[in-house]
Amino acid sequence: MIQLSAVSKEFTNRKGTVRALHGIDLTAAEGEFVAVVGRSGCGKSTLLRLIAGLLPPSSGDIRIGGLPVTGPRREVAMLFQRPALLPWRSVLDNVLLPVEISGLPRAEYRDRAVRLLTTMGLDAFQRRLPHELSGGMQQRVALCRSLIQRPEVLLMDEPFSALDALTREELSVELQRIHLEYAATVVLVTHSVDEAVLLADRVVVLSPRPGQVRTVLDIGIPRPRSLGHDVHRTELARLSAELHELLLSGGG
């Protein structure tokens, strides 16, 4: 579904050239959940923006579904760290915003928007404004907005990092369920090793800048997963420890 071949990205400013990523080879199969971890500045978010078509690569090839990525595409949705909801629009209207931007019939998507909000436990908040919601509820709305057009690919840039630990874990459980239900290919950038192990089929570890793929760790644990009282918690803890060691030894 997603294929990156020898992808590099450089940024040039008055002070010179900064190489953010170098020689990235990476694939994500259809329906797979891939997490990307690494230390700050290693190019994780840049990698996500390249896949989304928001930035062009300096060299290399990026394809989704066999087609070259030359810009944003309707079948690719992106969820950012901040929900970025429009404060003057209701919850329901925020979810329907991509439909309006794409020039699609709003009426045909309204029922789907309501179903998504119901799935996220937000059915009673359709007419509320964003400031009336908690941070976790706002991010749930943003997730519904990302799913409204049934994307084949969902890119997530640290979507839970601004939330408290309990809300993060609750949303991680919700995201597992959403992934199983909608079967989109997901690439998640996160600073949280525990979050990566909890959610992903594979975890990609990037080296310090310029970011390169140092290793890819398979997470062969059945879903649903939990960091609490889970029959697989020993294996989850072992994988988390392995990732921590990789990052501390210069792997991210």
**Does one domain contain both 129 and 161?**
no
Query: What is the model's pLDDT at position 77?
Result: 92
pLDDT at 93: 96
Q: Are residues 206 and 244 in the same domain?
A: yes
- Same domain? For 53 and 139 the reply is no
Regarding whether 247 and 161 lie in a shared domain, the answer is yes
- Are residues 179 and 209 part of one domain? yes
Same domain, yes or no: 159 and 214: yes
The amino acid occupying position 165 is A
Residues 176 and 217 in one domain: yes
pLDDT tens by residue, 173-191: 788 888 888 788 999 999 8
Q: What is the pLDDT of residue 182?
A: 79
Given a contact cutoff of 8 angstroms between Cβ atoms, the answer to whether 60 and 24 are in contact is yes
Mean pLDDT confidence for 221-231: 71
Query: Please, what is the average pLDDT of the chain?
Result: 88
pLDDT digits (tens, 9 = 90+) for 37-93: 998 888 899 999 999 999 999 999 999 999 999 999 889 999 888 888 999 999 999
Position 247: which residue type? L
- What distances in angstroms separate CA 21 from CA 9, 45, 73, 198, one per listed residue? 5, 11, 23, 26
Mean pLDDT of 210-219: 91
Domain range for 159: 2-75+152-251
Distance between CA atoms of residues 1 and 55, nearest Å? 19
Instruction: Please compute the mean of the pLDDT values over residues 1-16 and round it to a whole number.
Output: 90
**Domain check: are 141 and 158 in the same one?**
no
Claim to verify: residue 167 and residue 67 sit in the same structural domain: yes
